[in-house]
């Protein structure tokens, strides 16, 4: 009996260690489909899995994508198309029908993470007046299906909703956006849901290339350092995100989680849009998001790279067509890893892989040793 307890204990310890070494990564990838040359959804899902990408964001509830996700472990962020928002906001039965058709129908084989009501809606947009009510109605519909504890409801905002972002501690939403964003933030805080933010240092850089260092925008080493009270900033991404956190504090939501729902860099079509810069940005971003920001350190940041493929029907800016990580033939445009590591010592090497193999082998051996001992006890 003592031998059995020891063997079982050893196996449990090994399994916990293995689970710890294969923890879920915070990186997802946006799957945009504004193109006429993309592979079928099943091949796209296979591509996600082959590259260890565990989270997907789509912008409308495409049934063919839902079907392709059957049997996968990919977590899905799904958008409510902007054109459906008014109907959902003004009709609770319409919200229930939308959740029934697009969520409940697929709930047994799709791992839904968030429902995103509106993407980059600005206060002056026609849909802005309907976002908050639509979020409420979608949430109520989830409650009716008992899904509200499994799936969060949010919206994705642009960084330009901030009226002030420099220095980061002075981050605040613009006065013109207060009436729009304040009830949304209160809703998210009340429902323990994150705010989704599309954060592109590329657009910030090209908007002010004379005052913003390119390396600072790319996470590359530079002479630029922003000192803001007790914090120092060595890249534009952290400075921008901490400005969002400061803005949330001013709306009495200091602990609200933020998810970076889009971030990327174009490889062609405009100023500083090169393959080299894009590769640097994506890989540096993947490695950086486990570290948190100066304001919220050591907090892995859920981040969605934009985007899986170049989308040849987007525009009007040429850069909009060149954010893809993969070519339509499914080859990687850049040789990057989608696994984030908190430091160079975390990057898998031959020794680490050998240790992992040894642990799996030992666990396998212990399992059969336990089985053999149990069998002998039954025979004798």
Distance CA 20, CA 203 (A): 37
What tokens were used for 283?
């890989």
Please state, in angstroms and as integers, the Cα–Cα distance from residue 219 to each residue in 160, 285, 289, following that order. Answer: 21, 7, 11
Helix (H, G, I), strand (E, B) or coil at 154: strand
Residue 78: phi and psi, rounded to 5, are -120, 140
* Strand 27-30 with 172-173, pairing: unpaired
Contact criterion met (CB below 8 Å) for 268 and 322: yes
Partners of 232 in the β-ladder: 227
Distance CA 193, CA 184 (A): 11
Of 376, 378, 365, the closest CA to residue 7 belongs to 365
Active site residue 311: no
Distance CA 166, CA 211 (A): 12
Catalytic pick among 54, 75, 262, 320: 262
* Greatest distance between any 2 Cα atoms in the chain: 83
Burial of 80 (0-12, 13-18, 19+ CB in 10 A): buried
For 33-65, b/e burial (b = at least 16 CB within 10 A) is bebeebeebeebbebbeebebbbbbbbebeeeb
Distance CA 61, CA 227 (A): 44
Active site residue 232: no
Catalytic pick among 49, 67, 92, 120: 120
What tokens were used for 371?
């089985």
Distance CA 96, CA 123 (A): 26
Q: Would you list the DSSP string of 251-290? A: TT-TT--EEEEEE---SSSSTT--HHHHHHHHHHHHHHTT
**Which residues are catalytic, by number?**
120, 262
């Amino acid at each position: 009996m003592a031998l059995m307890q020891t063997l079982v204990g050893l196996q449990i310890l090994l399994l916990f260690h293995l689970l710890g070494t294969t923890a879920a990564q915070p990186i997802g990838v946006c799957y945009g489909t504004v193109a006429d040359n993309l592979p079928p959804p099943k091949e796209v899902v296979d591509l996600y899995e082959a590259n260890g990408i565990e989270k997907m964001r789509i912008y409308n509830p495409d049934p063919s994508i839902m079907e392709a996700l059957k049997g996968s472990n990919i977590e899905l962020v799904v958008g409510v198309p902007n054109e459906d928002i008014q109907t959902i906001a003004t009709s609770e039965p319409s919200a229930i029908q939308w959740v029934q058709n697009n969520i409940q129908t697929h709930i047994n084989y799709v791992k839904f993470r968030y429902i995103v009501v509106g993407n980059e809606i600005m206060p002056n947009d026609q849909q802005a007046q309907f976002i908050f009510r639509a979020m409420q109605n979608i949430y109520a519909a989830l409650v009716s299906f008992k899904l509200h504890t499994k799936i969060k409801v949010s919206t994705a905002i642009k960084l330009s909703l901030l009226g002030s972002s420099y220095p980061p501690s002075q981050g605040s939403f613009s006065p013109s956006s207060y009436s729009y964003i304040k009830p949304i933030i209160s809703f998210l805080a009340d429902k323990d849901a994150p705010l989704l933010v599309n954060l592109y240092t590329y657009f910030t850089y090209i908007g002010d290339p004379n005052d913003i260092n390119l390396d600072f925008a790319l996470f590359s080493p530079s002479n630029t350092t922003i000192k803001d009270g007790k914090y120092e900033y060595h890249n534009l991404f952290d400075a921008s995100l901490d400005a969002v956190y400061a803005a949330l504090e001013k709306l009495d939501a200091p602990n609200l989680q933020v998810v970076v729902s889009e971030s990327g860099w174009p490889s062609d079509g405009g100023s500083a849009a090169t393959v080299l810069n894009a590769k640097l940005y994506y890989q540096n971003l993947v490695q950086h998001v486990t570290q948190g920001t100066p304001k919220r350190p050591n907090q892995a940041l859920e981040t969605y790279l934009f985007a899986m493929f170049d989308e040849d029907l987007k525009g009007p800016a040429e850069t909009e067509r060149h954010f893809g990580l993969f070519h339509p033939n499914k080859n990687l445009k850049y040789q990057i890893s989608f696994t984030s590591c908190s430091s160079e010592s975390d990057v898998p090497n031959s020794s680490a892989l050998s240790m992992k193999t040894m642990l799996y082998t030992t666990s396998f051996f212990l399992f059969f040793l336990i089985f053999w001992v149990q069998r002998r006890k039954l025979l004798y």
